[in-house]
Amino acid sequence: MSSLHVVIGFGPAGAATARLLAEKGHSVRVVTRSGRSPEPGIEHVALDAADSERLTEAVRGAAAIYSCAAPPYHRWASEWPPLASSLCAAAEATGAVLVMLGNLYGYGPVDGPMTEQLPLAATGSKGRVRAAVWEQARERHEQGRIRAVELRASDFFGPGVTDGGHLAARVVPRLLRGKPVSTLGDPDAPHSWSYLPDVARALAEVAGEERAWGRAWHVPTEPALSTREMVDRLAARSGTGPVAVRRLSPAVLGVASVFSPLIRELKEIRYQFDRPFIADSGAYEAEFAVRATPVDEQVKATLEWWRERPATRG
């Protein structure tokens, strides 16, 4: 099997996956629109991954393509379909395994823990788009045109996760200064958090496991903890003592949404924080080797990462 692996996107998940693959001794090519300076084991290429001809050339000779890019929330409906089609075309033209990083939006609101057997029944536009992205790849896999697999993660947590806000830039730096934090939705609703290094390890694992291909799997994830429980663990480990956890009021979000396209888009997925949002990763754990990192280790590593950032120290 070729040792060239191509990672699309260099956000938190793409960067973690690219660096893990490089550590394993693979040659890694990262595709982003802007490109970057090379780093050990990683070549950065600037191109629009929605351009299927250029993407196919960048992927030629690769064992696997890792789809870790995502358009901005408010452009999902327009930008995901051409990107997904380009990824499938590149996989078909080159024979590389297409490893897609997905999420749990496609199920829509459900009662009880989410498993991969649930129908992709989302009614919101973002959930429908993400479901369609996987359905296109799955259909081509079943037709024998490509080899594809999807790993579905919940909200990211861990070193390198700065955006999203749920347990990232809006929370951890304030917590480290002993200040109260504000959260979206019910801070006491159980919630699954996918630890970023576990996401990368699972993506790398299924790329080489033929029996994983052709279906979706949930990333190995520790038992659900509420936002308040996670903040309490972070605060206890950091030594700052307990910090107050406040729910952002719908009125504040309403005003903010007038000025922010991102916050406007959150309305569709508010249910994920207003009620239990629990991913069951038992199917993956029954078949493969990667296991979720114990939550106390997640908390320790995350705090260490944030403390090393100049903005946090300041």
Q: Do residues 54 and 102 touch, judged by C-beta distance below 8 A?
A: no
Q: Tell me, what's the pLDDT at 185?
A: 87
> Is there a single domain that holds both residue 240 and residue 202?
no
Terminus-to-terminus CA distance in the chain, angstroms?
A: 47
How many domains are contained in the chain?
2
| Residue 289, domain member (yes or no) | no
Taking Cα atoms as reference points, which of 91, 4, 10 lies closest to residue 41? 4
Instruction: With respect to residue 287, please indicate whether it lies within any of the assigned structural domains.
Output: no
pLDDT at residue 158 in the model: 97
Which stretches in the chain have pLDDT values below 50? Answer: 1, 314
In a domain, 283, yes or no: no
Contacts (Cβ under 8 Å, ≥6 apart) of 243: 174, 175, 178, 179, 180, 181, 231, 235
- Three-state secondary structure along the chain? CCCEEEEECCCHHHHHHHHHHHHCCCEEEEEECCCCCCECCEEEEECCCCCHHHHHHHHCCCCEEEECCCCCHHHHHHHHHHHHHHHHHHHHHHCCEEEEEEECHHHCCCCCCECCCCCCCCCCHHHHHHHHHHHHHHHHHHCCCCCEEEEEECEEECCCCCCCCCCCCCCHHHHHCCCCEEECCCCCCCECEEEHHHHHHHHHHHHCCHHHCCCEEECCCCCCCCHHHHHHHHHHHHCCCCCCEEECCHHHHHHHHHHCHHHHHHHHHCHHHHCCECECCHHHHHHCCCCCCCHHHHHHHHHHHHHCCHHHHC
Same domain, 150 and 92: yes
**Hunting for tokens 């919940």 — which residue is that?**
154
pLDDT tens, residue by residue, 28-61 = 999 999 989 889 999 999 999 999 999 999 999 9
Output the pLDDT for position 314: 45
Domain span holding position 265: 158-190+224-277+294-313
What is the rounded distance in angstroms from the CA atom of residue 18 to the CA atom of residue 10?
A: 8
Please report the pLDDT score of residue 48 as a whole number: 97
Task: Please report whether residue 63 resides in a domain.
Answer: yes
At 267 the pLDDT is 74
Return the biggest CA–CA distance within the chain: 56
125 with 164, same domain: the answer is no
Residue 25 φ/ψ region, left for φ over 0, alpha for ψ in the -120 to 50 degree band, beta for the rest: left
> 150 and 165 share a domain?
no
User: Residue 1: its pLDDT value, please?
Assistant: 45
> Is 212 within a domain?
yes
The rounded distance, in Å, linking the Cα atoms of 22 and 145 is 28
Query: Both 47 and 174 in a single domain?
Result: no
Distance between CA atoms of residues 114 and 129, nearest Å: 19
Q: Is residue 25 part of a domain?
A: yes
Same domain, 12 and 138: yes
38 with 143, same domain?
yes
What is the CATH number for 94? 3.40.50.720
Does some domain include residue 282? no
The answer to whether the beta carbons of residues 295 and 233 sit under 8 Å apart is yes
284 found inside a domain: no
Whether 87 and 230 map to the same domain: the answer is no
Distance CA 92, CA 89 (A): 5
Shared-domain flag, residues 67 and 36: yes
What does the pLDDT read at residue 310? Answer: 76
152 and 39 in a common domain: yes
Write down the pTM of the prediction: 0.94
Q: Do residues 142 and 166 share a domain?
A: no
User: Same structural domain for residues 235 and 202?
Assistant: no
